[in-house]
Amino acid sequence: GSQISCFSPTNFTGKQSAYTDTACWDSLIHHGFDAEGRAITKSLWALKVFPYSLLVVAVLMYLPYLLWRYAAAPALHCDLLFIIDELDKSYNRSVRLVQHMKKIQQASAEPEQFWEEYERARRERYFEFPLLERYLSCKQHAHALVFIYILRNLLLLLFLAATCLYLVFLHLNIFFQDEFSCSIKTGLLQAEPNIPPLIPCKLVFFSVFQIISLSVGSVYVLLIPVVIYNALQLCQWDKGLLSVYEMLPAFDLLSRRMLTCPLNDLNVILLFLRANISELTSFSRLNAVSALREATANKEDIDTVIDFMTLLAGLETTKPKH
């Protein structure tokens, strides 16, 4: 419908009133007077382009997603699939190895043979899988993902702040001006005596624009600390996730102090690995054993990876006391 309603003089015909509405909507210039009585004009043109500016904002907010989707997501997806698969394989192989060692104990007439195998496994590092460890170490020296991640968050912050400042500007300068005085005495109509110098007009859609701008501004203000929080996650390592896998020597980055500056691709991978922890089936089991280790009074009973794997394999082995 009509987006403006002007109160034309009573002597105007229908076509003249329609022309007044059209002319005032095309100009959107408020004519008023200052405190000293001097004539001033104020453009309300920003109200006309407000719906299109929201469309531009929507496109700008979509750009960081496109950057991440096509520049970083494919490589990150491959990294996550490989690491999740290798972590679960490390866990499963450790369990199978302990089951094999337990079978040796059951088939042997000498109970001490199990513990000989136990010591041999520790010496020869049967539980370690260097491919995963070297791959994770290599990711500490890569910075492609972390660069795109930081750039994405900076673009989000920039667009959010710019949109909020734009909406504040509209509210302070225009969005309290739902009524204005319009002048159509221009061109051929300038000499017409029957046309008043100023015609009062009212913007019909003004309240709708206010509600939309307040809603968008409120959501974006709430999103700014969320984006900042996500960006600050790169300033520290997710040691909670790493410490659980410390039980598997293939993931001994903490014990060997291989973690350096957190601003690298490995930290980005760990952040998304934590977000997709449900895909990592071995994490819940290792997390349960980690809690058991903390609750065990006599920690000497489960003080090595093989003891942990014995529990995870559903076996119960009592180490002989010498």
**What pTM was computed for the model?**
0.76
The Cα–Cα gap between 117 and 316 comes to: 16
pLDDT reading at 191 higher than 50? yes
Q: Can you count the helices (H) and strands (E) in the chain?
A: 12, 5
- pLDDT single digits (tens) 33-80: 766 767 777 778 888 888 899 999 999 999 999 999 999 999 999 999
- pLDDT single digits (tens) 234-268: 888 877 777 777 776 556 666 666 677 888 999 99
Segment 182-200 shows an average pLDDT of 77
Closest CA to 47 of 164, 159, 171, 165: 171
Confidence of residue 322 (pLDDT cuts 50, 70, 90): very low
How far is residue 88 from each of residues 225, 281, 315, measured CA to CA in Å? 35, 7, 19
